[in-house]
Chain A
Amino acid sequence: MRAEDFRKQPLELEGWAVHVTSYRIGGHYLAEVEALDSGVTIARATGEARVTVEEDAIQKALQRLRRTRRVDLDLTVGG
Chain B
Amino acid sequence: MSNYAHPEVLVSSEWVLAHLDDSNVRLIEVDVENNAYEQGHIAGAIAWSWQRQLSDQVRRDVIPQEQFEQLLGSAGISPETTVVLYGDNNNWFAAWAFWQLKIYGHKDVRLLNGGRKKWLQEGRPLTLDVPIYEPRRYQAQKPDYSIRAFLPEVQRAVSGGSAELVDVRSPQEYTGEILAPPGLPETAQRGGHIPGARSIPWGNAANEDGTFKTLEELKAIYDAEGIDGTRPVIAYCRIGERSSYSWFVLKYLLGYNNVVNYDGSWTEWGNLVGAPIERGVAAPVRGLVAHAG
Asked if B191 and A3 make an inter-chain contact with CB atoms under 8 angstroms apart, the answer reads no
- Check A64–B183 contact: CB distance below 8 A: yes
Which chain B residue shows the least CB distance to A79? B283
* Closest beta carbon of chain A to B236's beta carbon, Å: 15
Per-residue A-contact encoding for B176-202, CB less than 8 Å = 1, 0 else: 111111111110000100011000001
A40 to B184, CA, bound (A): 8
Residue of B nearest to A66 (CB): B183
Min distance, Cβ A16 to any Cβ of chain B, angstroms = 5
CB neighbours (8 Å) of A77 from chain B are 280-284
User: Size range of the interface on B?
Assistant: 35 or more
Other 12 A-B pairs with CB < 8 A, given A1-B128, A46-B39? A1-B126, A2-B120, A2-B124, A3-B121, A35-B181, A38-B169, A64-B182, A65-B183, A67-B185, A69-B179, A73-B279, A78-B280
Q: 24 A-B contacts, Cβ less than 8 Å apart?
A: A1-B40, A2-B125, A2-B126, A3-B121, A14-B182, A25-B39, A25-B126, A26-B128, A35-B182, A35-B183, A37-B171, A37-B182, A38-B181, A39-B242, A46-B39, A64-B183, A65-B183, A67-B186, A68-B184, A73-B175, A73-B177, A75-B280, A75-B281, A77-B283
